[in-house]
Structure 1
């Protein structure tokens, strides 16, 4: 068994085996900490509008949670981590707890904010379009268009980056 090598780059933990779950877990933990620090100062402040609180969330919490999301493939575990962390913050902003039995969609409507996974998918598509406009000698374009020439390890293959922005379920939702 090979030893996993890792290092921190710009706050993100880069590993040799590209463990997405651990990477997203670390980012959501940092975002939860920041949201927790803001809870007493902003989220529970009755004199601030929900709109102002959401703007603070979008500038202070969401960027930590979604750092480098444009270049990362999503799977069900990472989507669940992102959605759970976002909803924990939005419930606090809206002044509801899980015991209030408010649906996530209702809270998103109150806060007037898009689901973080859909928002990330739009960012990923914008990044793809940006890379497509690059010249053919740029490293990002080469990495996007090349296919690995090695055999894949046994087991279920990991989700590829290009598969995460062309979800068939998402396309069905957008067509309706």
Structure 2
């Protein structure tokens, strides 16, 4: 990250030079450039390679975009990845093996794909509902039933006994929030949470949902101070998880 093209070009070329000196090589095909609205896009050359300029890319398993919310697209992407993982195991899910084995396989192989890194997402009821709908569809496919069978969601869940995706996501986020708030090592996690963006006029319309909005609604604006009491944070977390789990049922 740099505040100017000159600084960015210098950093990348220094990295490339030092890497080659110790026998490493940058992968220029995987090295991309993104600009925000404060920079006029211009070519960036490392060695003899002109780096590609992109609007978004997948980094550490998640879509990264500048100046725009990427969570709606990331939710859709995770649903696609979840179905891909489910499809690879469909022959097992549709077999006659005991349901408890199918449940264990789903929880270990499909659910982690759909929930990886979700503790860093800003969640709305709509985004969570999309994931829950996808999970319900997978459960019906696992049982060999369709919407025309008009089975209640509770009945389906009582048969599959898989972990509710909203429960898993909200639990991961609450635990991560407490972990970050309780840190005293001055690492980046807490600094990023407390970071205030540049001043200026915000865009027209409803402000985007922030990562901490649902935490503030549940634990108050001083939630980071509340999190210092581990017992209290744990008890609040149970209600927080239950709220997200029951949403939209």
Shorter chain as denominator, the TM-score bin is: 0.7 to 0.9
In terms of mean alpha carbon deviation, does 64-73 or 111-120 score higher?
Answer: 111-120
Cα deviation, residue 63, structure 1: 1.3
Q: Tell me: CA distance 1:18–1:59, structure 2 relative to 1, closer, same or farther (3 Å).
A: same
Answer yes or no: is the 8 Å Cα contact 1:108–1:114 preserved in 2.
no
The equivalent position to 2:134 in structure 1, one of 74, 85, 95, is 85
| Match of residue 95 from structure 1 | 144
Pairwise CA distance, 1:127: 0.4
What is the RMSD of the two structures over their aligned residues, measured on CA atoms? Answer: 2.4
Given that residues 70 and 123 in structure 1 are in contact (C-alpha distance below 8 angstroms), is that contact kept between their aligned partners in structure 2?
A: yes
C-alpha separation in 1, matches of 2:204 and 2:191: 26
3-state SS of 2:107 partner? helix
CA contact (8 A) 1:50 1:93 kept: no
Kept in 2, the 8 Å contact 1:6–1:14? The answer is: yes
Residues 75 and 68 (structure 1 numbering): CA distance in 2 closer, same or farther, change over 3 Å?
A: same
Distance in 2 (CA, whole Å) between partners of 1:123 and 1:167 is 17
Which residue does the alignment assign to 1:131?
180
Aligned counterpart in structure 2 of residue 61 of structure 1, from 82, 106, 110: 110
1:15 aligned onto 2:76: no
- Stretch moving more, 2-11 or 80-89: 2-11
Q: Which runs of 5+ in 2 are unaligned?
A: 1-36, 42-53, 219-238, 244-249
Greater helix fraction, Structure 1 or Structure 2: 1
- The CA deviation at 1:136 is 5.4
The answer for the alignment partner of 2:214 in structure 1 is 164
C-alpha distance in 1, partners of 2:69/2:178? 24
For residues 110 and 176 of structure 2, what CA distance do their matches in structure 1 show?
21
- Which runs of no fewer than 5 residues in structure 1 stay unpaired? none
Counterparts in 2 of 1:165 and 1:98: CA distance versus 1, 3 Å: farther
* Cα contact 2:136–2:153 (8 A) shared by 1: yes
TM-score by length of 1: 0.84
- Whether contact under 8 Å (2:106, 2:162) holds in the other structure is no
Of the two, which has the highest radius of gyration?
2
